[in-house]
Amino acid sequence: MSRVLGLLMRPRSVGFMILTCLILIRIWDPIPVKTLRLQVFDSYQRLQPRPAPANEVLVIDVDEASLAQYGQWPWPRTIIAQLISQLFQANVRAVGLDIIFAEPDRMSPGRLAQNLPGLNKETREHLQEFPDHDATLANIFTQTQVVVSQSALAHDREDNTSPPRAPPLSERGEDPRPYLLSYSGLLRNIQGLEEAAAGHGIITLNPEPDGVVRRVPALLRVGEYILPTLSLELLRVGTPPSTLSVDTDLAGIEHVTISNIQVPTDNHGRMWIHFAKLNPDRYISAKDLLNGAVSPERLEDKLVLIGSSAFGLGDNKITPIEGALPGVEIHAQILDMVSEKSFLTRSHFALAEEVILILLLGLLIIFLMPFLGAVQTLFLGGFVVTGMIAASWYAYVTSGVLLDVSYGAVGIFGLYGLLSYLNYVREELSRRQIRHTFSRYVSPALVDQLSQRFELLQLGGETKNMTILFCDIRNFTGISERYQDDPQGLTKFINRLMTSLTESVLEHNGTIDKYIGDCIMAFWNAPLDDPDHATNASKAALDMFLKLDHFNEDRKAEAAQTGDSFVPINIGVGINTGNCVVGNLGSEHRFDYSVLGDPVNVASRLEGQTKFYGVGIVIGPQTAALSNRHLAMLEIDLITLRGKREPARTYALLGGPELRDDPQFQSLVASHIAMLQAFRSRQWSQVKELLVDCRNNPHAPTGLYTRYDDRLAYFEQTPPPDEWVSIFDAISK
């Protein structure tokens, strides 16, 4: 669980993982991704289909009306022969049959004579004298340019005893066979029709996974034979010179050339069909042609397909722009597309191009989001994706190039959304972590502010002007000895006292740095800014003594009830202000939110001077300068602290604003300042008089003046040398 949370705290790492998954999914190209891409390509064709051409390709339609007049399908082959004969009498270029005659005509007279029961011998012999319908149709084939259809099968048929008839094919470059769609067998016409036909074309249409026909094999492979689709074979037969070639590189099939027209394909030899809207004018009802209702001029020099739009024959296919269309219409559209050279193309390296695009955009999102923020990154991503879509549309409109940006757009916006969510989760985790980390060290108000604005917490360390407080319990060794047989009691005692003192820090916006045995270290102006940090720290120290008084009173009452002896607890507090480094300090394995710097050491030394000078709180010069307008304080001395070269002017903090404004305290301040001036000027008699005035003031810190009495007595007996300056060297901490 901790690893998961740690990972969530690093959205960029998660972003790289997601981007890698997006790229792998695109390379895998599962059906949903493929379907999305194809649907986008469909929308392009619906928005701007190929312009409908002049009717160079016609369809003789075995429609419902024709079936109503000439009977149900299949018709006798003589009717098909009549259709083809009339077409070539009108000088069509070639005819393609979107029909497979896989079995002999059951309506042929000779076959009827064999199969009809109850015929007498004379009638049977008479029927057998009539021409065979299949032979009649084959005879028409030999006199015309007819392309018959075949259908590719996954398994070969037992009746296929001869190899398929493949047209002459020029192969340039690599062997195309490994790249072509491969089948094992063919559904063919009966042998006589196969041999009589001028060409053989495949009518197998391979819909995409969603059932829509978008690509048709220009060539496919049956065994080791390469066979063309019906449309290209009809064009080859009907457009001399009848040449067919295929160009292959290491990526697959590049294009197929038919009658000097290069037809681009995908690497498997499939043509993308550039659809136009259905043109009903290209359709001629078979009954109208048979009835002589079609003028020869309409048919002259046209390529003609014979197929069926009759619903009952079930030859309808789903297309991108018109829904269900007759299968013969798809072959007609391919002929139009090739004749006009209006192709749709998709680069063989489209996958690599699109993966690179996803990679670049993903890296852009991952690296810019932390700097720009979610909103700006959203606008940038939207602008880039809009540009991608516009470029894809422009490529389609101007060049017929199919460039997929759908998956990239969805993936990038998904990446953006997930990173935004992870940032939200990270913020929530950060807030929880901050609450957990600081709830025991800072006031609840500060915790709430940090949880809402945790960016104010500069992890890793920052330099700030801060105020540091050290609070130490007096005579802790003696206290410990009293509890030497009751360590649990000592723990309870210390926790109770520390809790009371800690409340003073938290109530004045301070932060507990650490507990060092019997000592509390706290600081102000971090993690949140506190312009009154010196004053707040000083007020917290004063409040500590108030809480200590209550603590001692409670202990005294408890001791009276239990009959135990009572020894009051006392503390000393040192406060200093200066520039420090604050932040998460420590090692990679463990760190604490703490503060470092010389002002910290000075604060600790000042706390040690409270014993020597007999005062409860000693503060440094910067602390005094920042808080003297609000609090009552007296200068103590110029002290050279242990480990320091320069002396520091120190002060005793005695009370709050009420004491500061008290006239008697102001009188004490005046006498105290005069005493220090006289002391530093070696005016010992004047010092003695002023010390009496100071000591008689009700607010006088008696311990401090006792220290100066001792100094005065010493200097009266042993006068200092001429170069003496009133600076006290603090040897002890």
CATH number of 439-452+461-661: 3.30.70.1230
Give residue 479's pLDDT.
81
Confidence label for 591 from pLDDT (cuts 50, 70 and 90) = low
For 264, which DSSP code? E
**Token match 């406060």: residue?**
575
Question: How much is the average pLDDT of 458-464?
Answer: 73
pLDDT tens sequence across 245-283: 999 999 899 999 998 899 999 999 999 999 999 999 999
Mean pLDDT, to the nearest integer, of 429-452?
59
Kind and range of the H or E run holding 340: helix 327-340
Residue 515 phi/psi, 5-degree rounding, is: -110, 120
Least confident of 366-370, 396-400, 448-452, 488-492: 448-452
Q: How far apart are CA 222 and CA 225, in angstroms?
A: 5
CA 474 to chain centre: 59
Is residue 92 within 8 A of residue 302, CB to CB? The reply is yes
pLDDT at 443 over 70: no
Task: Categorize the per-residue pLDDT at 235 as very low, low, confident or very high, splitting at 50, 70 and 90.
Answer: very high
Determine the average pLDDT of the residues in 321-332: 90
Pairing of strands 270-272, 215-217: antiparallel
Helix/strand/coil (H/E/C) assignment for every residue in 8-58: HCCHHHHHHHHHHHHHHHHHHCCHHHHHHHHHHHHHHHHHCCECCCCCCEE
| Sheet-wide strand order for 170-173 | 170-173, 244-249, 252-258, 261-264
CA angle, 660 then 569 then 533, to 5°: 40
Of all residues in the chain, the percent with pLDDT exceeding 90 is 57
pLDDT digits (tens, 9 = 90+) for 191-226: 999 999 999 999 998 888 888 999 999 999 999 999
pLDDT greater at residue 592 or residue 412? 412
Q: Tell me the mean pLDDT in the region 80-103.
A: 95
- What is the reported pLDDT for 439? 57
Does the pLDDT of residue 423 top 80, yes or no?
no
Q: Residue 434: pLDDT above 80?
A: no
Per-residue confidence band for 41, with pLDDT thresholds at 50, 70 and 90: very high
Widest CA span of the chain, in angstroms?
Answer: 168
Alpha-helix residue ranges (DSSP H) falling in 346-486: 350-399, 406-438, 444-452, 476-482
pLDDT band at 640 (very low <50, low <70, confident <90, very high): confident
Phi, psi of 525 (to 5 degrees): 80, 20
pLDDT above 80 (res 129): no
Residues contacting 21, CB < 8 A, separation 6+: none
**Gap between the Cα atoms of 246 and 518, Å rounded:** 91
> What is the β-pairing status of strands 462-473 and 519-524?
antiparallel
Q: How far separated are the first and last CA of the chain, in Å rounded?
A: 47
Provide the pLDDT confidence category of residue 668 given band limits of 50, 70 and 90: very high
Residue 634 confidence (pLDDT): 96
Mean pLDDT of the region 624-634: 93
Higher pLDDT, 241 or 266: 266
Angle at 636 between CA 631 and CA 640, to 5 degrees: 125
Tens digits of residue pLDDT in 535-575 = 999 999 999 999 999 999 998 998 889 888 888 999 999 99
Q: Please report the pLDDT score of residue 567 as a whole number.
A: 85
Q: What is the pTM of this model?
A: 0.62
For residue 731, the one-letter residue type is: I
Look at residue 215 and give its three-state secondary structure.
Answer: strand
Residue 293 structure tokens: 């209702």
* Gap between the Cα atoms of 333 and 342, Å rounded: 11
Confidence of residue 435 (pLDDT cuts 50, 70, 90): low
Structure confidence at residue 1 (pLDDT): 41
Q: Would you state the structure tokens that stand for residue 213, as one six-digit string?
A: 């026909």
Q: What's the alpha-carbon Rg for the chain, to the nearest Å? A: 50
Q: Residue 7's pLDDT band (boundaries 50, 70, 90)?
A: very low
Given a cut of 90, whether residue 46 has pLDDT beyond it is yes
Domain ranges of the chain: 2-45+348-432, 53-105+145-340, 439-452+461-661
DSSP 242: -
The single-letter code of the amino acid at 625 is A
pLDDT at 2: 44
* Mean pLDDT computed over 132-160: 90
Note the pLDDT of residue 449: 56
Average pLDDT rounded to a whole number, residues 338-361: 90
Q: Judging by DSSP bridges, how do beta strands 146-153 and 323-326 pair with one another? A: unpaired
Q: Name 364's Cβ contacts closer than 8 Å, sequence gap at least 6.
A: 380, 381, 384
Q: What is the mean pLDDT of residues 318-326?
A: 88
Q: Note the pLDDT of residue 5.
A: 45
Residues 6 or more apart in contact with residue 175 via CB below 8 angstroms: 248
Cα separations in angstroms, 196 against 190, 306, 406, 494: 10, 17, 49, 112
Cα–Cα dist 23/43, whole Å: 24
Check whether 666 has a pLDDT greater than 90: yes
Q: Which residue has the higher pLDDT, 647 or 85?
A: 85
| Mean pLDDT of the residues in the chain | 87
Tokens of 386: 């809009």
Q: Which amino acid is at 519?
A: C
DSSP code of 525? S
Q: In this structure, is the dihedral angle defined by the CA atoms of residues 271, 276, 281 and 284, taken in order, positive or negative?
A: positive
Q: CA 284 from chain center: how many Å?
A: 56
Is pLDDT at 623 greater than 80 in this prediction?
A: yes
Model confidence band, residue 371 (pLDDT cutoffs 50, 70, 90): confident
Contact 36, 263 (CB under 8 A): no
